[in-house]
Structure 1
Amino acid sequence: MAEIENNESAAACKPVALVLGITGGIGGAVAGKLLANGYTVRAMHRNAEANATKSPQYEWVSGDAMNRDDVMKAASGVDLIVHAVNPPGYRNWGALVLPMIDNTIAAAEAVGARILMPGTVYNFAPETFDTITEDSPQNPVTFKGGIRVALEQRLEAAAGRGIQVILVRAGDFFGPGAGNNWFAQAVVKPGAPLKAITNPAAPGVGHQWAYLPDVAETMVRLVARADELPTFARFHMEGFWDADGKQLGNAIRRVTGLTELPTKRFPWWMLRIAKPFVPVFRELTEMRYLWQRELHMRNDRLVARLGVEPRTPIDQAVRETLSSLGCLDAQAGPDTPKSLEVAGETRLSA
């Protein structure tokens, strides 16, 4: 009996995190890290029962991030709300993004929880490019960029009312479980041996990438030091900086052993022609400017706080990503890891 009581007492002392968007790439990655760091992880999903069977390590509750009552109920007793929910495939940003963050803010204020959220680069216009800090001017040139600025303004206002917000901006996601992203949907073709590498960037233009497990590790390390952080804490990750747009492709060649693997240009012209008929192409074309100019986010503030930015060696990150996408199966060597299941869905850019 004493042992049962001690176990119940230990469980009661665990911090509780509510993860919104747990079946997406970053939500799932952060949830796993929180669980490994002693959190009880509560997951809200419209199909909670089915997900509970697949991932019983989490505490599943039914709900919709667009329904404030659902979010408020799910947040009861939590210490942290991870806002990783995002409209899939770039769609319906105008109708979904701001109402969802308003619901999260309301729930956090009601229970006194912190908010942890991944940020994007959409906030920044081309004139701020090359080197960007957390406090660089935000003058977006796109519809989605304007929404992201409004979202951050609402979070900053909530922080002014006493709710701690931790926001981590990173480059384009890639990695096991990252779902729909530029690496998986443009750079390589999932589920088949590689025949070419596609580069969406203009010739010689560098690009910033973020390996999903590193992003999750960074976010959870910051949560562990939350008491040392300001109420509104924004950080940039450097991730993998591909200085000339060729280094990611070179890593793919090293990992696969296909040293002569050609690089192709991304068919932006096709997106322009098809965008009147395919809404997602219109959304992707709007973000082309991120591939035409270098955007290099500095991580000085993050390193000053954590001492180091978590980084997986690029060849290891690429190998694990390609394996998860089924691209190594037909050309695997004895040391190539088996394919991992790709779960969830996330945006095409961080």
Structure 2
Amino acid sequence: MFSRVIPVALAAALPLFASANTLPELNVYTHPSFAAEWGPGPAVKEAFEAQCDCMVNYTVLDSGGDILQRLRLEGSSTPADVVLGLDTATMATARQTGLLAPHGKALEQLALPIEWTDSTFVPYDWGYFAFVYDTEQLPEPPRSLEALINAPDDLKIIIQDPRTSTPGLGLLLWMHSVFGDQAPEQWQKLSNKILATTQSWSDGYFSLFMNGEAPMILSYSTSPAYHMAIDKTDRYQAARFDEGHYLQVEVAAMVKTSDNQALASEFLDFMLTPAFQTHIPLKNVMYPAIDLGDELPNVFDRLIQPASTHYMAPEAVARERKQLVNEWLDALID
């Protein structure tokens, strides 16, 4: 380490010079699978910076639940301009913070399995929760939630915590949608098969599942697309369950107290362009929020198609979430 003496006249001029050449910065709160080197974040950052003449900074938090928690803790003093990585199960709770701004957009270009009219959140991808299995460890997986629950206890699975993970919360809602008031009893049956409950999806998928610790993990019906297209293997597949699968739509929103409202709004517009969306299928490994036509990778034609779709409106999730989490905790403790 060394020091250098700067002439007084030059030193006085430096702050003014730096200020004149400082680009505006867009601060985005997101999660690891988006911002990782293999995720869409780096390519999205490069493409948007070329358009906006700005700098994009990612603050990477462990999960969608952690994004929401950080936003709550920081309140109106948050440095975030955009939050990206919430979903339909956390939207209403995030809206209740009062920290998010309306987007004011028509969103006519969306191609989702459900109608979208929300005035705060802009979708950027969607998919179905599913159990992904290792065909080498488990050639014949369960073909329904009921079959999984009633399988021998030596079948081990990895799930995520619904208090911190959006897939974990998705499984909670999936179980509730299928079994209703009987869900706590079904959780008790399933508990003996749970090898690990991880804080985030990435913790379970990369650290445990891909290292062969268990033959099944809660993930997405789209997860095999990455393995087929990038890893060039059919080893990892999603089990198609007879009861259908739960839908997740991932979303972003502007922060009301941001000093960069115009830039944040521009980023939300950019999210629904091919320059952003073409990075979603094989980098975020989800369905894009707009129709990409021939640009959608062919491996998506080989993915499972749910027999039916389970979905709860965000407001219903917000009403029932606490009770469902408590029932889940009680069931696993018992």
Q: TM-score, normalised by structure 2?
A: 0.32
